[in-house]
Amino acid sequence: MQALFEIIERYGFIGVQDAEKVYDLPAAELKKLHNETFTYIYDCQNKRVWGTGAGLAKPNDTFSFHASASIRAASGCSALSCRLQKLDFLGRYAALYANELTLPLAMSTPGTEDGIEEGRDALNLDLVSLLFLRPVVTTGIIVPVVMRSWHCIHEREWIRDVSSLIHDFSQFTARTVHPEFTVRYQIPEKSPSGKPTIYLDGPEEYIEHAGLVRVVERTPRWLPKRQRFDKEGMMEIRGMHKRHMLEHLFRGIANNMTFYFAYGLKRRARYLSDMHGETEFLDWVTERDDKEMTAKTDALAELQHCVPVLADLPIATILRIRNEEQGAFDAYRDAVTKMSGQILASAKPVTKKAAREMLRDAIEPELKRMNREIRTYRKVRRSQTIGGAVSIAAGVLLGAYAGLPPIVATPLVAGAGVVGGHLARKAAEATCSHGPEFKQKNDLYFLLRLTNEAQ
């Protein structure tokens, strides 16, 4: 993917701060940039699916992911700070766990975009994502793709049927939850932006922050003739205009899910999301005992909340250590997969609070014991200690592969005991394995190495 960034750099886009320059590009140059980037990415993804040769084989399905619109910051809040926070989490998640993470982009097929301004908005969104995630993209861990797929004659009918089913399900959901949403219009004189503004409020499983804000350039023609505004200059919008906005919102979810079925499943990828509304269709079509395709959204949110030290470590550093300690990385990732699966192997949904309590009861005591042993070793070697590893590991264990890997159907309480015993055995091994072979014998060595680097 280095060639992709060479294309982007030719147009003056070097860092995230340059993404706004897309709004200054002449229309002809914008079109040329769009065509070059789209063509390169589309050719690469077709080779990845249909080509042969080194690096084109299907990935290991346990560690292959497909990013949803919400988790890749392509929907929801448009504030740059919020988008970068999501991209930062996605980059760290990929660096810590993924063999391959598919990143769908917003750019449309050349010649099909609605207008020049929509094309600029889509390219701005994509340039921010690509430039911010560049270290993980150039290593081949995060793979950008365009939301277009090619299918042989035998697949086309199936794809059409799946797309129709997903969109029908999506619009049925939109009609069902219609009363839970509110649409309001605010006059420019009262709006913070000084422009006409539309607010869409609804459940957080469908809208980030429980609300979306859209600034428009002119007063909508569809406003009711009889307009009654409150003291904040707002009025509620009902009827077909509210219905149209909800249909648009759910159509976006359906389009992303359709592309996952058309492309993501060819890469044996699991759908990675932090928003329940994006996984409803998968929950509907997937049997209760076979939910390997979807990530548990509460667990992902908890992971984002519980890894403060790793958040201070540059993504490039995580990638360097992953490359230097490949054996330890594989052992760590496999251990996290097994432990998360065992802890969350419950027939009932596991809340964030319950998951935190289970992790604290089953894991923290053993991690503390292991930490004491490692501290002793570090003191002997006059190296740094590993303070803080307990909270990091607890967060990572909760979010890494909650419910994703093939897991044994173990009762919840028994599962917690199994995990505690596993770590206890590893900690016991550590007490007599303080030499160079330590990292081969301890599944959490990779995490400890990262922790040391962050101090």
Q: Which residues is 361 bridged to in the sheet?
A: none
Beta-carbon-side half-sphere exposure of residue 144 (alpha carbons within 13 Å): 30
Measured CA distances, 137 to 93, 99, 103, 133, 401 (Å): 13, 12, 9, 6, 22
Measured CA distances, 402 to 51, 60, 112, 350, 355 (Å): 33, 17, 39, 10, 10
Provide the 3-class DSSP secondary structure of residue 14.
coil
Beta strands in 120-266 (DSSP E): 142-145, 182-186, 197-201, 211-215, 234-237
Q: What is the pLDDT of residues 39-76, one digit of tens each?
A: 999 999 988 887 655 555 555 567 888 999 998 999 88
Residue 106 has a pLDDT of 93
From first to last of its 455 residues, the chain has per-residue pLDDT tens of 889 999 999 999 999 999 999 999 999 999 999 999 999 999 999 888 876 555 555 555 678 889 999 989 998 888 888 899 889 888 988 888 888 999 999 999 988 766 788 889 999 999 999 999 999 999 999 999 999 988 878 788 888 888 999 999 999 999 999 999 999 999 999 998 898 999 999 998 898 888 888 888 788 888 887 778 999 999 999 989 899 989 989 999 999 999 998 898 888 888 888 888 888 887 777 654 344 444 444 444 444 444 434 566 788 888 998 898 888 788 777 766 666 665 556 556 666 666 566 555 554 555 455 555 555 545 554 433 333 333 333 333 333 333 333 322 222 222 222 333 333 333 334 333 334 444 444 565 666 667 667 55
Q: Which residue, among 69, 75, 78, 276, has the nearest Cα to 177 in the 3D structure?
A: 276
Distance CA 133, CA 103 (A): 10
Measured CA distances, 440 to 394, 443, 444 (Å): 21, 8, 10
Give the angle 242-278-207 at the CA atoms, nearest 5°: 45
Q: Which residues is 182 bridged to in the sheet?
A: 201
Residue 290 has a pLDDT of 41
Distance CA 101, CA 65 (A): 5
pTM for this one? 0.76
Residue 51 has a pLDDT of 66
Q: What is the pLDDT of residues 179-205, one digit of tens each?
A: 999 999 999 999 988 989 999 999 988
In the numeric block, the tokens 């859209």 are attached to 214
